[in-house]
Amino acid sequence: EGTVAVDLAGLHLGPADASLLAGLIRSGARALAGAVSLSVLGNPAMGAEGVQTLVGAVEQTPSVVSLVGVLEGQRILNLSGKGLGPVDAEVLTAEFRLGRESARLTVLDVSRNSLFPAGVVGIGDSSTLAAAGGGGGKTKGPLAASAAEGQAQQLLGALQRSTCLERLDLSESGMRAED
């Protein structure tokens, strides 16, 4: 059967669209029957509220295997230079917290995106973390209480729980390396 891919990336979805999509997911509409991989990246107007609405529906629907377009069996996800922003950082955090298909990724590249304001958080001595799930790639140094830094910390925490992730490229994502 395989996974049905539903690409909603960059369609200017807002909170109302996220609510409608969440309703479809919850109702088990035929269009979303079977294993479904959604991609909702690149929709900044959706905002945190829209992301949380979608995540709530996806948490209750095991057949939705991804919010960022990861397909069953996929091991590499290259999102480099896709114009992703802070809302996408929230989507990525939710994706890795759900731990569905993305939990099997071995390589994630989110470089050359504006996930965070420049220099938001220190991540050790390199912006490419190796063996994130195997104890490497730990954050280093104190993190300030700003919302952006909290969001960065949440994303890194979710990524570190991914036991298969061998390579994570966060270069030019708004995070800065700490000496």
Helix, strand, coil share (%) of the chain residues, nearest 5: 35, 15, 50
pLDDT in tens, 123-138: 543 444 433 333 333 3
pLDDT in tens, 18-61: 999 999 888 875 555 567 899 999 999 999 999 999 999 999 98
Residue whose pair of structure tokens reads 């995106």 in the numeric block: 113
pTM of the entire predicted model: 0.82
